[in-house]
Structure 1
Amino acid sequence: MAKSKSKHHKARKTRLAQAATERPQPTQASFLQEQKRGGLLVTDELQKALEECKTRVTQIAADCRRRNRKFRDNEFDLEFDRSRCLHGLPPSSDFPGPRVVYTPSDVQRATQIFENPSFFINGADSNDIVQGALGDCWFLSALATMSTAKGLVEKFCVARDEQIGVYGFIFFRDTAWVTVIIDDLLFTSIPKFEELNHAEKQLYHHDKETYNKSARKSGKSLYFAKSGTNGETWVPLIEKAYAKLHGNYAALSGGEAGEAIEDLTGGVTSFIFTKDILDIDKFWNEELLRANQDRLFGCAFDNLDSTRSGDAFATVNGLMGGHAYSVLRAVEYKGKRFVVIRNPWGRTEWTGPWSDGSKEWTPEWLPALQALGHSFGDDGEFIMEYKDFLENWDQIDRTLLFDSSWAMSSQWLKVTTHPLPSAWGFGDVSFTISLPTASEAVIVLSKLDERYFQPISGRCRWSFDFVIFRKAETQPIVTSSPSLPYSRSVNAEIFLEAGDYVVHVRLDRDVFRPPNYLEKGLENWKERDYARVLTEKAKSQSIASNFNRSDEAHNLPIPLDVLAGQDLSVLEAKAAAAAEKLKKEQEALKRPSEMEQMTATDTPPTEPATAPASADAEGGGTAFNEEATLHPKGCAGKGPPADEGSGDDASDSNSNEGDDSGEHDKEEGSMKADARSDDGPPHKSDPAEDDVVFLGLRVYTKKASPATVGGQLRHEMATSFAGLAIEHL
């Protein structure tokens, strides 16, 4: 900590002390608490999230009725906080990819747009989904894919009161279910009558009532996504809730549909490249035919290179490159294999063999339409024969859906790597898995979902893979499956016998931002908006077992339920007592580093690490152990990057996330004094962020065999590790 004391120093101490009542330093007890939070089982936590969401919607509706008001969401107010809800922190000019500026004309409630709005009309259907001005075909493709599996969409659309205009949703982020509450205000593309020019008014005979009824009373007036069924509201409202989850609408531009399905269901997505499929018959029988049972699928191919043709809008028989499509179902009929697919635009279809009205549809084959559940029409839904499916798509996104027979355990760590340039290899972090009985397992290594705080996620985009060994054996049993560059996660599927396993991680990164990217961004960002994003970043990073809470206390809000019913004088007294108790616990818990103990005994620690966060500065590694007893229930699907028609930006999907705490406490005095203005947020890029990434290992096993997951970090042992490498060579 810098020795100089600003005029805000006393106030900051009070806030830090208050934060300690809810966010203690990482003692042994707090690591156990963090592990319970980080290792939530999907099924149990899902039920809690459903109940919490329903309760909040009910409370809001009752309060609004008491005040004779409709609900207005102060946290995401499209009308009075327009810029933040639309764009958040716009990327600086050096950020790769185009920057799209959204310009809706107005904001209206669903009840103003529709005569008789209804959330669902005959349930959720893929034909309900029509993309708007936002480049989120990947998200809408995920919705279309999920709508083919009965009840999935309805499950995360938890509660609503359409008269009051309040809607509650849940989404899975990192390792927990998150409740999102929104109102029914939506952006529209049709201006007010008074904003029309003279010629435009003349089209409506200068009659405002006629204009409002014909132009503004329709789902077609919505600026972003809409339903193909007029009066149905679930599509634009889910899109709005997902935008709120990630801070703003612009944050949804560009992504992978499989990741969206993970967020909607808690499932796990793999990217399968068609040119890598070994046995196409096996893939059909064991994968595609199980679509909408325990897995969901999407498909895509890369943008076409127009340098030779000069046609920037070239298609492959009507199919767009860099665009996410949904696999609705796979059907075998009279010895032929067909795949039914949908474009989230709700138009523009495949024009090759077996397309709508093509010559293949002879009278003999017309009965197949009923078996395929398809009818001709320009609605974005089309049929491909399996061989054409494999030939035209480069990438298939498959998301596994977990039912209540599965359990999930997890561990998250803040990982510091060697600075570039350095050898590309293993050794910065490892995880351990202990299984009481044999079980099928899905092992997922992921970084945090950075979409909310992507503009300040650091200078690097990270890639990673892993190898799994049975403990004390020298031959690996499985490696992670290939994935897209800079994907949010990689995974492996394997049957594991009872016993202990070690997961070694290899990290790679690309520096894609200049050293002063933060300063350049702050030239245009509002401090208020920047503070919101910093808060979300700190909240996300706090899932790591070795996260230093005191270092980020100024960015972590104190939950209202901690403050409830107590004035600040009472809270300050409690905070002071808690801080003193914490100090004594930390002094009592100091002991040799966990890495030293592991090296000496060749066994992992039997309890979570208890050293304070500053242990990193004292040398030695840090090890963390977690035992989880949770259970998952969810699903997922997949889809690709950009959408030429609406501005999808695939480069938006992945980047590094940094933090200026923990590993660099030695430089804290000099670096943080420069990086912060008085007591406020950082105003300069921190070089230490270049070497930091937050990683989590999730292990899905059968409920009867929940895994115990631990994590170990390399620290200040570069010389020793280099010696091992030289000795091996």
Structure 2
Amino acid sequence: MPPPPVIRIPRDEQPTRDKIGTLDVPLKFLDQDYQELKKSCFTNNRSYVDEKFPLNSSSIDPKKKLGLNMEQIKWLRPSKIVADPQLIVKGVSRFDYSQGSYLGDCWFLASVGALTFQKDVMDQVMPVGQSFGEDYAGIFRFRFWRFGKWIDVVIDDKLPTINGKLIFVHSNTSNEFWPALLEKAYAKVCGSYADMHAGLVSEALLDFTGGVHVHFETAKTSIDLWSLMNRAAKAKAKALMACGTFVGKTSANTVLPNGIVQGHAYSVTGVYKVKCQEKPVQLVRVLNPWGKGEWTGDWSDKSSLWDKVSEKERSRCRSLANDGEFWMSMEDFTKNFEDVDICCLSPDFLDSSSECRWTSTCYKDSWVAGTTAGGCLNNKDSFWRNPQFRVRIEELDKECSGQCPENILVSLMQNHEKRNRSEVSNYAIGFSVFAIPPEMKDVKLPDKFFYRKRPIEGSGSFINARHVMRFFKLEPGEYLIVPATFNPKECAKFILSVFSKSESHRRNKKPEMTYV
């Protein structure tokens, strides 16, 4: 099989110059045009009813997994629930909402909690200018990033209720409805409310931002995680953070004696350092999307340790409200939380040095049976058929390389384009990184190369996930990145994103990534 031509992709340049799918020109989800639909409502003097997300069980629980009595459910507009409905009351806050009892979408709501801290990002997801005022027509719009494209999602404002009460997410202020409408829009994207049951916070964080995502297991990472979280919290480019607890012996959300819920997603809402008896203590603030239930150990709301810090720090940090939010030390955080997800609009938070900048390449491709779906390295005869991507790592000066040894972030996302999220069966995916010998430049590496060479880095174990990533260090040189499914002949589209560190004075030089 002859090698395909070499294509050089300038870093920082989109694979297509077409603006469709950007925030300025988002794709119309299910071909629904918000402006045209709203105009039609005014012309016909009626409130909008969304025929593509019907008011029946197919939009709530098509496979009857949630244990709801559908005969009890009534779809009501906010004006039929309260007298004075508002989209937002006194601004958007992480304390605005509480999770419903029927749907396990804490992964989504933990991401929403992080979203409330970033007004610019919130305005991207929930475009401004919408209300229940004079311009009201029963129609609302939201925007999400899905597999490299921004989509514009239209919904009506009829919400599922039982006895006049919202059955899923509900606001703590009875006449505020942005959380319920946001959840409905995301449910529509997923296929139904039930399709939102169980998930990873990384999914929603990426869908809210289209940003740079990193995931760390707290017990296994060698990175100074608190410092990275602190940089993300202060980043100008707007970062969202969330974390998850260890799963217990069952899948149930068991509340431990210390107040932590097992197998549960939380928002990370603050990172701060205090002095306790002249010793610095690294703290992390965490929010339970249930809106209640808090950590009861050191640095919790009622901990006596708060009496040992300055009054200024105590008044800044401490809260006695039972609102689901609490502080804990970084040491306790790593013992009680299994992983952390950070999603930021820019990769600059990865390193604190002003001498460094991060450049990026995003490339879309697919695994096709018989041609480019070669499977993992276990399949020596076909692995070489997988798409191959080359990247050059530049040598950095000491001021840049010394701040953070990791100099490359590789992210791989698969896309199956199923209408219902629960019907997606993600393949086990991963990637391998090989050092390229000088004599093999600009050619697709043949099968013999992979018989002789072992990868020097990679994503680790192949896992059944929508998205995998790895943040690591490579020495200066040329490398080959090979994304793959575990088994050959597994077909899917994918997005490979590569972020690499360079010196800031090289801003005008365009480094290259090569696809062979």
- Within 5 Å, give how 1:557-706 maps onto structure 2: 691-700=490-499
The alpha-carbon deviation at position 230 of structure 1 amounts to 2.2
1:486 aligns with 2:461: no
Name the CA shift for 1:291/1:482 in 2 (closer, same or farther; >3 Å).
farther
Following superposition, the deviation at residue 306 of structure 1 comes to 6.1
Alpha-carbon distance in 1 for matches of 2:320, 2:461? 36
Task: Determine helix, strand or coil for the equivalent of 1:394.
Answer: strand
SS of aligned partner of 1:167: strand
The whole-number CA distance in structure 2 between the counterparts of 1:493 and 1:289 is: 16
With over 3 angstroms needed to count, the CA separation of the structure-2 counterparts of 1:436 and 1:486, relative to structure 1, is closer
Distance 2:499 2:125 in 1: 21
Equivalents in 2 of 1:266, 1:697: separation in Å? 13
CA–CA separation in structure 2 for the residues paired with 1:175 and 1:116 = 38
CA 371–704 in structure 1, closer or farther in 2 if over 3 Å, else same: farther
1:318 aligned onto 2:259:
yes
CA distance in 2 between counterparts of 1:63 and 1:423 reads 56
Are 1:328 and 2:273 matched, yes or no?
no
User: What is the root-mean-square deviation of aligned Cα atoms in Å?
Assistant: 4.1
Match of 2:113 among 144, 159, 184: 144
Give how far 1:412 is off: 1.6
CA distance in 2 between counterparts of 1:462 and 1:148 reads: 34
Matches of 2:510 and 2:193, distance apart in 1 = 38
CA drift of 1:449 comes to 5.9
**1:128 aligns to 2:96 (yes or no):** yes
Distance 1:378 1:255 in 2: 26
Q: 1:478 to 1:173 in 2, by over 3 A?
A: farther
Letter in 2 for 1:102: L
Which amino acid in structure 1 is aligned with residue 290 of structure 2?
Answer: W
**In the alignment, which residue of structure 2 is the partner of 1:284?**
226
Q: Which residue of 2 aligns with 1:259?
A: 203
Q: Which protein, 1 or 2, shows the higher relative CO under an 8 Å CA cutoff with sep ≥ 6?
A: 1
Tell me which protein shows more strand as a share of its residues: 2
2:25 matched residue in structure 1: 48
Say which SS state the counterpart of residue 214 (structure 2) adopts. strand
**When the two structures are superposed, what TM-score results if normalisation uses the length of structure 2?**
0.75
Structure 2 partner of 1:187: 160
Amino acid at match of 2:389: T
CA distance in 2, matches of 1:352, 1:43: 50
For 1:233 and 1:402, the matched residues in 2 are separated by 31
Aligned partner of 1:504: which letter? V
Deviation at 1:147, TM superposition (A): 1.2
CA distance in structure 2 between the partners assigned to 1:477 and 1:691 by the alignment? 22
Residue in structure 2 matching 1:359, options 298, 304, 307: 304
Structure 2 unmatched ranges of 5 or more: 349-357, 397-406, 441-448
TM value normalised by structure 1: 0.55
Contact 1:173–1:449, Cα closer than 8 Å, also in 2? no
In the other structure, the counterpart of 2:430 is 464
Residues 1:85 and 1:155: Cα distance change in structure 2 (over 3 Å) = same
Counterpart residue number, 1:227: 171
| 1:110 alignment partner AA | P
Write the deviation string for residues 22-58 of structure 1: whole angstroms up to 9, x where unpaired.
xxxxxx9xxx9xxx997579998222229999x9433
Check 1:73–1:38 CA distance in 2 against 1; reply closer, same or farther (3 A cut): farther
Whole-Å separation in 1 of the counterparts to 2:436 and 2:162: 58
Gaps of 5+ in 1: 1-27, 92-98, 191-215, 510-688, 713-729
1:171 pairs, out of 144, 148, 159, with: 144
- Would the alpha carbon gap of residues 456 and 125 (structure 1) be closer, same or farther in structure 2, given more than 3 Å must change? closer
Name the stretch that deviates more: 144-153 or 435-444: 435-444
Higher helix share: 1
> Pick from 373, 380, 386: which aligns with 1:429?
386
Residues 42 and 407 in structure 1, CA contact (< 8 A), matched pair in contact too: no
Indicate which of 348, 355, 364 corresponds to 1:411: 364
- Give the deviation of 1:330 after TM superposition: 0.5
The C-alpha deviation readout for 1:588-638, integer Å capped at 9, x for no partner, is xxxxxxxxxxxxxxxxxxxxxxxxxxxxxxxxxxxxxxxxxxxxxxxxxxx
Cα distance change on mapping 1:223 and 1:139 into 2, 3 Å? same
Amino acid aligned to 1:266: G
Q: 2:41 is paired with a residue of what secondary structure?
A: helix
The correspondence for 1:302, drawn from 246, 251, 255, is 246
Listed one character per residue, the Cα deviations across residues 75-134 of structure 1 (whole Å, up to 9, x for unaligned) are 1122xxx1211134x39xxxxxxx433346211001211222221222221111211121
Matched, 1:446 2:413: yes
Task: Quote the Cα distance in structure 2 between the aligned partners of 1:508 and 1:704.
Answer: 39
Whether the 8 Å CA contact 2:306–2:314 is kept in 1: the answer is no
SS of the aligned residue for 2:22 comes to helix
1:143 match: secondary structure: helix
